[in-house]
């Protein structure tokens, strides 16, 4: 393998990894606060991409407007899902909310099939994202630089919200102890809605960039990236935002590199992440950066 | 009513079922018989998941994986060698795959045992995990099985799968296995082990404090559940006559989970009733997805509608009736008789 090819694979891995990381943040924030695996998150990711398509083809919106509108609508749907399907189950056994989440996931996926058919749709890509730039021997698509850069900006914004603003303080308080936060006057339900909104917006952004990178839309397109992002969140330490970012990027790079170095294993690509999940859960269930969650009596 | 009378009534009920099947075989069309067959298979699957999740509290999402193992093992054993030679066009089968042969009953049991073996294999490391993590890890297991099925073409014929699997799984076989599962699970639940399962489900820490070997009982429940999931998968393969890796996705697990939750976690009666109701509904809603013709007018089918309805139903049940139809209640002859006489007797309404 030449040096140029290696750099190219690394960049591809970084792109894929930052897309995983954006989704993983949503999983990790919701899990940190509610101890709930938000199964519907992968469908939120898919909806983000579909809404852009709808905005452009049905409402004739310009590109940028369609993208911003899609992110806002997807965030609203994320909040709505929590409001309708999870909030009534806050006091129920934890698995009830998980089953509800599985139901929501299938509902959104099949609703998209009903609305748009199961047939994959091509995505139109603007030319300025497609023409490769030559840096020495390395051919780089502008997209491969654009995706990690934008993802990085979004993550910086998130870190600012979580660590520098008052709602962010509320999020951190709730993730430590939801009941005490409530007593201390944190508007728990509003903060949880905000968390779902932010997580869904990031997933939508990831979905839109995913559609530009792999230009095909399908109602089931969210499942595999969604699972892998969840695995990335567990790998990084569920509940930890930096963990989700690091986990996502490592997973993306390793996945691309593994296939590049061992092309024979390409067929096992999707199994790799699940094996990783099982191994982490067994060896270090708290992940790279997670805090210990004790089993309280 | 003594236990003897109950046993006699059970036998009578089985005889009535037998009479019904005998009648159905000659008088119902192929489509109806197929639905009856699917009901039996779905009841087996629901009972196996209910044992794992409803009675022992192990949130497992790996059913599709166990079913795939059962279906592939059974199909390899009942496909004729000539058929296998025709099927494996990508790469020839390994010799042991090519030559493996067994009668149908042995093949189904072998499918179940293979699934149970894998149940032990993944159960030993995974059952230490808590509820939602266990769910994700078992889901991962099911996906790994599917990826393996695609990537081991000399055993599974890769993405093409098997076609023309002998359709041995008729009403008699399916309902015999179904009754056996029912009988076995009921006996197990009423045994001491069954009580231990429920104790673990209700409070694992307390069970441990009482000196129960929690891990061993979890493993027992999990592998027995895996066995019956494998049996269900084996029967399903023979019933549909075709299997491929695409069939064993998460949707399959979702359907079984749907039946168990609807019927009531920890209710065998619930699983049986919901198994019947949901199988019929799933088939009945199929027409929504196909185009309907009114003379020259065509109302296009709506693909995906079936799962929209079912996922909504699951959300509603979890939100508004979390205990399902039956809760943890069970049907019993005593209860039925008491209710009947109370209604009909002089003191009733």
- Per-residue pLDDT tens over the stretch B259-304: 999 999 999 999 999 999 999 988 888 777 777 666 666 666 777 7
What's the pLDDT score for residue B299? Answer: 64
Q: Provide the shortest C-alpha distance from residue A88 to chain B (in Å).
A: 7
B58 or B303, which is more confident: B58
Q: Does B305 touch chain A (CB under 8 A)?
A: yes
Q: Does B307 touch chain A (CB under 8 A)?
A: yes
- Supply B63's token pair: 């059913």
Chain B residues in contact with A96 (beta carbon < 8 A): 318, 322
- Supply A120's token pair: 């994959």
ipTM of the complex: 0.87
Q: Is the pLDDT of residue A297 over 50?
A: no
Q: Does B300 touch chain A (CB under 8 A)?
A: no
Mean pLDDT of chain B: 89
Q: Give percent of chain A above pLDDT 90.
A: 44
What's the pLDDT score for residue A294? Answer: 47
Could you tell me the pLDDT band of residue B96, with boundaries at 50, 70 and 90? confident
Q: Does B308 touch chain A (CB under 8 A)?
A: yes
What's the pLDDT score for residue B321? Answer: 84
> H helices within chain A, ranges in order?
3-34, 41-57, 63-81, 94-116, 127-130, 142-164, 166-176, 178-183, 188-213, 223-236, 241-261, 269-283
Q: Does A152 touch chain B (CB under 8 A)?
A: no
- Whether A270 sits inside 8 A of B302 (CB atoms) is no
pTM of the model: 0.90
Q: Which residue of B has its CA nearest to A274?
A: B140
Chain A residues in contact with B141 (beta carbon < 8 A): 274, 278
Chain A residues in contact with B312 (beta carbon < 8 A): 103, 107
Of A231, A267, A278, the CB nearest to B150: A267
Report in angstroms the alpha-carbon separations of B7 from A77, B2, B4: 54, 9, 5
Q: Is the pLDDT of residue A290 over 80?
A: no
Instruction: Tell me the residues of chain A between 63 and 92 that have a Cβ less than 8 Å away from chain B.
Output: 85, 88-89, 92
Do β-strands B292-294 and B242-243 pair in parallel, antiparallel, or remain unpaired?
unpaired
What's the pLDDT score for residue B298? Answer: 67
What's the pLDDT score for residue B81? Answer: 87
Q: Does B129 touch chain A (CB under 8 A)?
A: yes
Q: Is the pLDDT of residue A81 over 90?
A: yes
Angle at B339 between CA B280 and CA B11, to 5 degrees: 60
Chain B residues in contact with A219 (beta carbon < 8 A): 304
- Mutation for testing the B interface, residue in A99, A109, A295 having most B CBs under 10 Å: A99
CB neighbours (10 Å) of residue B191? 11
What's the pLDDT score for residue B348? Answer: 42
B98 or B192, which is more confident: B192
Mean pLDDT of chain A: 88
Highest mean pLDDT among A139-148, A235-244, A288-297, B190-199: B190-199
């Amino acid at each position: 393998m030449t040096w140029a090819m290696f750099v190219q694979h690394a960049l591809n891995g970084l792109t894929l990894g930052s897309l995983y990381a954006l989704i993983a943040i949503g999983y990790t924030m919701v899990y940190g606060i509610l101890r709930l695996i938000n199964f519907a998150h992968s469908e939120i990711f898919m909806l983000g991409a579909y809404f852009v398509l709808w905005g452009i083809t049905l409402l004739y919106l310009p590109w940028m407007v369609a993208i911003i509108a899609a992110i806002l609508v997807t965030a609203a749907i994320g909040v709505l899902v929590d409001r309708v399907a999870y909030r009534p189950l806050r006091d129920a056994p934890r698995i009830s909310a998980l089953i509800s989440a599985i139901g929501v996931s299938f509902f959104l996926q099949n609703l998209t099939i009903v609305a748009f058919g199961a047939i994959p749709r091509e995505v139109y890509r603007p030319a300025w994202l497609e023409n490769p730039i030559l840096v020495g021997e390395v051919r780089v698509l502008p997209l491969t630089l654009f995706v990690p850069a934008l993802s990085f900006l979004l993550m910086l914004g998130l870190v600012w919200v979580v660590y520098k603003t008052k709602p962010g303080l509320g999020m951190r308080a709730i993730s430590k102890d939801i009941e005490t936060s409530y007593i201390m006057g944190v508007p728990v339900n509003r903060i949880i809605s905000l968390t779902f909104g932010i997580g869904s917006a990031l997933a939508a952004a990831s979905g839109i960039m995913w559609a530009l990178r792999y230009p095909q839309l399908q109602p089931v397109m969210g499942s595999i990236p969604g699972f892998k992002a969840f695995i990335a969140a567990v790998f990084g330490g569920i509940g930890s935002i930096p963990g989700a970012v690091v986990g996502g990027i490592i997973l993306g790079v390793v996945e691309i590199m593994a296939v590049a170095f061992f092309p024979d294993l390409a067929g096992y690509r999707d199994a790799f992440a699940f094996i990783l999940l099982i191994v982490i859960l067994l060896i270090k269930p708290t992940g790279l950066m997670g805090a210990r969650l004790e089993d309280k009596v | 009513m003594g236990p003897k009378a109950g046993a006699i009534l059970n036998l009578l009920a089985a005889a009535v079922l037998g009479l019904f099947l005998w009648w159905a075989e000659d008088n119902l069309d192929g489509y109806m018989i197929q639905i009856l067959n699917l009901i039996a298979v779905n009841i087996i699957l629901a009972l196996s998941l209910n044992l794992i999740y409803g009675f022992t509290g192990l949130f497992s999402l790996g059913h599709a994986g166990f079913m795939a193992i059962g279906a592939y093992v059974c199909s390899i054993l009942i496909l004729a060698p000539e058929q296998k030679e025709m099927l494996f066009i990508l790469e020839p089968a390994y010799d042991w795959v090519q030559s493996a042969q067994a009668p149908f009953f042995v093949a189904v049991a072998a499918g179940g045992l293979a699934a149970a073996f894998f149940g032990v294999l993944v159960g030993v490391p995974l059952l230490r995990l808590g509820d939602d993590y266990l769910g994700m890890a078992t889901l991962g297991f099911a996906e790994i099985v599917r990826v393996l099925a695609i990537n081991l073409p000399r055993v599974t014929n890769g993405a093409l799968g098997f076609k023309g699997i002998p359709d041995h799984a008729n009403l008699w076989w399916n309902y015999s296995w179904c009754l056996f599962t029912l009988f076995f699970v009921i006996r197990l639940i009423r045994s001491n082990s069954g009580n231990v399962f429920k104790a673990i489900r209700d409070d694992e820490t307390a069970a441990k404090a009482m000196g129960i070997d929690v891990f061993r009982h979890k493993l027992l429940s999990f592998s027995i559940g895996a066995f019956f999931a494998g049996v269900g998968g084996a029967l399903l393969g023979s019933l549909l006559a075709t299997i491929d890796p695409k069939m064993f996705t998460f949707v399959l697990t979702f359907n079984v989970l749907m039946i168990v939750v609807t019927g009531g976690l920890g209710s065998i009666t619930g699983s049986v009733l919901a198994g019947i109701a949901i199988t019929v509904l799933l088939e009945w809603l199929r027409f929504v997805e196909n185009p309907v013709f009114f003379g020259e007018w065509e109302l296009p089918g709506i693909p995906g509608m079936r799962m929209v309805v079912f996922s909504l139903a699951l959300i509603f049940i979890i939100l508004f009736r979390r205990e399902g139809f039956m809760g943890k209640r069970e049907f019993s002859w005593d209860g039925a008789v008491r209710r009947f006489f109370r209604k009909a007797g002089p003191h009733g309404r």
